[in-house]
Amino acid sequence: MTVPRPAAVLFDRDGTLIVDVPYNADPHRVRPMPGARRALARLRGAGVPVGVVTNQSGVARGLIGARELCAVNARVEEILGPFDVWAVCPHGEHDGCGCRKPAPGLVLRAAAVLGVNVRDCVVIGDIGRDVEAARAAGARGILVPTSVTLPEEVAAAPEVAADLPGAVERALRPPPHASTDPGEPT
């Protein structure tokens, strides 16, 4: 039996796809994370839609304007190729919105735009908020730790990969607890 591919893989932006430059308003400072191009090429080659789900509180704080944010995101696509969906939360941490990760809003919005079941999506990120947003939405979360990832976030993550290409390979396999036998309950 063939294993079904994910309906979509959604990535955090800063620290996952690109090097995190806090409140970056300069497209020329965008640099891909190691393995990002290869990971995205693998998914695109497998016909899996890819998207970005990103908190951008610098907009709410007045540290970056909407025009600069769009320019940075356009540069991300110029470097890494087109994404099938972008879901961006411009709110601050205390705004109480339902889209700011760890809330599920961005993941739910991205799945809805793609017309896929959120339960068939995978979210890949570098901090606990990314995995928590996936869990809250009913999606699968994979953590790719970096120097800013807290040890307790790694311990709490259901799946951890050493790097972005490794996370994509995990995403293309069933989750560790999933059954591949259609007659066996999951």
Q: Catalytic residues, which ones?
A: 12, 14
Cα–Cα distance for residue pair 80/102, rounded to 1 Å:
25
Grouping H, G, I as helix, E, B as strand and the rest as coil, residue 137 is helix
Structure tokens at 15: 């620290």
Task: For residues 79 and 114, give the distance between their C-alpha atoms in angstroms, rounded to a whole number.
Answer: 22
Rounded to whole angstroms, the Cα distance separating 93 from 156 reads 22
Residue 82, both tokens: 């087109």
